């Protein structure tokens, strides 16, 4: 009986000893089904090399017909991932400015709206102050090293300051000279004297008022008549007429009728005071006209600046926005980066 038990014990130990190398191979994860030089332990415990024909133990393929019904996609992906022995890719290094440029290129519609807004703001700024639109475009552009836009600013602003200075000087001189000739007229010309010394009024013993002169003098003395407008009705017309027309020479305090026989041939309409007065008027008008010219140049300076920023903004928009054709849009977003190919009509 003991002999039989010893026999059973020997058989069990022998079975364990024979199966041990196979268990070791399975634990080591060596694949089956391939002809490979596999390392196997001998009975003595020393490694030996032999050709082993192993059965294929690869993951099931999606193209195997036998797996049409029970294909496990998650398991397949995991097995395929474990079979790959790749290296980790380094993250690309992208600067903030490059990402900003790429984002601008990836949003053409937003850039078009911003481009139109840029043009409107720059033109409005130049209309208010020449050079201000150029300064806005320089501050808004990405490349601050480009000084061509900034160089325009002092030119337009300097010209505007110079023109305003010249306008003010000439305008003030014109106003001062105008006050001077008006005071001179008030001092040396009077309506009362005119209504006494005019030929018509003189022949009737003096006109009672300016309405009488206007109604009758033109019929009797047409060569010495011009419609009189008092200062109370039109100040500008009053100061212009007293020195401009010969009919009003009779109101100057230095009018001398001596030697005049009421004929136009012996008539001397330009008295010394009238000559001084008219010179003052011409000088005043010269300053006023010059001031108006500087004002027109101020407007022209604004128009040139507006056209300049319109062109600059158009050029800058063309550098950042592709209005047509094929384009590669790169969106380096931290969460969902993407690359797209588009065609803009």
State residue 87's pLDDT score: 53
> How far is Cα 122 from Cα 120, in angstroms, rounded to an integer?
6
How much of the chain, in percent, has pLDDT values that exceed 90?
Answer: 41
pLDDT surpasses 50 at 106: no
Q: In the 8-state DSSP scheme, what is residue 190?
A: -
pLDDT digits (tens, 9 = 90+) for 162-193: 999 999 999 999 999 999 999 999 999 999 99
Q: Which pLDDT tens digit goes with each residue over 48-66?
A: 444 444 444 454 554 454 4
- Of 90-94, 100-104, 122-126, which one has max mean pLDDT? 122-126
Coil, strand, or helix at residue 114?
helix
242: its two tokens = 């007293």
How many angstroms separate the CA atoms of 152 and 304, rounded?
A: 11
Confidence of residue 257 (pLDDT cuts 50, 70, 90): confident
Average pLDDT value for the chain: 74
Angstrom distance (rounded) from CA 131 to CA 305: 6
Q: pLDDT grade, residue 100 (50/70/90)?
A: low
Give the H/E segment covering residue 328.
strand 325-331
DSSP 214-268: HHHHHHH-GGG------TTT-HHHHHHHHHH-GGGGGGBTT---TT--SSSTT--
User: Is the overall model pTM greater than 0.75, yes or no?
Assistant: no
In the predicted model, is pLDDT for residue 150 greater than 50?
yes
Domain spans in the chain, listed from the N-terminal domain onward: 2-63, 109-189+252-321
| CA–CA dist 141, 124 (Å, integer) | 18
CA dihedral sign of residues 101, 105, 107, 108: positive
What's the confidence (pLDDT) of residue 313? 85
Q: Of 137-141, 221-225, 318-322, where does mean pLDDT reach its minimum?
A: 318-322
Residue among 215, 185, 186, 182 nearest 200 (CA): 215
Residue 150's contacts (CB-CB under 8 Å, 6 or more residues apart) are 134, 135, 138
Query: Chain-centre distance of CA 85, in angstroms?
Result: 54
- Residue of higher predicted confidence among 161 and 26: 161
CB 123 within 8 A of CB 309: yes
């Amino acid at each position: 009986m003991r002999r039989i038990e010893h026999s059973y014990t020997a058989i069990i130990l022998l079975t364990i000893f024979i199966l041990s190398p196979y268990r070791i191979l399975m634990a080591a994860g060596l694949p089956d089904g391939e002809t490979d030089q596999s390392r196997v332990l001998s009975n003595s415990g020393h490694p030996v090399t032999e050709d082993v024909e192993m059965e294929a133990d690869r993951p099931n393929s999606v193209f195997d017909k036998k797996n049409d019904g029970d294909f496990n996609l998650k398991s397949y992906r995991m097995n395929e991932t474990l079979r790959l022995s790749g290296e980790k890719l380094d993250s690309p290094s992208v600067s903030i400015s490059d990402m900003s440029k790429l984002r601008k290129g990836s949003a053409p519609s937003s850039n078009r709206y911003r481009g139109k807004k840029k043009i409107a703001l720059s033109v409005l700024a130049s209309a208010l102050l020449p050079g201000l639109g150029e300064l806005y475009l320089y501050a808004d552009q990405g490349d601050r090293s480009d000084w061509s836009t900034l160089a325009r600013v002092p030119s337009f602003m300097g010209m505007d300051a110079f023109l305003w200075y010249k306008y003010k000087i000439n305008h003030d001189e014109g106003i001062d000279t105008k006050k001077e000739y008006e005071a001179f007229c008030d001092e040396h010309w009077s309506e009362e004297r005119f209504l006494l010394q005019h030929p018509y009024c003189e022949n009737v013993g003096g006109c009672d008022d300016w309405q009488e002169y206007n109604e009758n003098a033109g019929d009797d003395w047409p060569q010495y008549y011009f419609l009189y407008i008092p200062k109370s009705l039109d100040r500008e017309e009053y100061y212009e007429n007293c020195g401009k027309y010969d009919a009003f020479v009779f109101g100057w305090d230095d009018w001398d009728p001596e030697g005049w026989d009421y004929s136009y041939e012996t008539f001397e309409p330009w008295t010394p005071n009238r000559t001084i007065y008219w010179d003052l008027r011409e000088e005043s008008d010269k300053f006023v006209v010059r001031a108006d010219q500087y004002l027109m140049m101020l407007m022209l300076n604004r128009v040139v600046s507006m056209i300049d920023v319109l062109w600059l903004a158009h050029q800058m928009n063309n550098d950042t926005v592709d209005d047509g054709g094929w384009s590669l849009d790169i969106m380096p977003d931290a969460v969902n980066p993407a690359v797209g190919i588009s065609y803009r009509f």
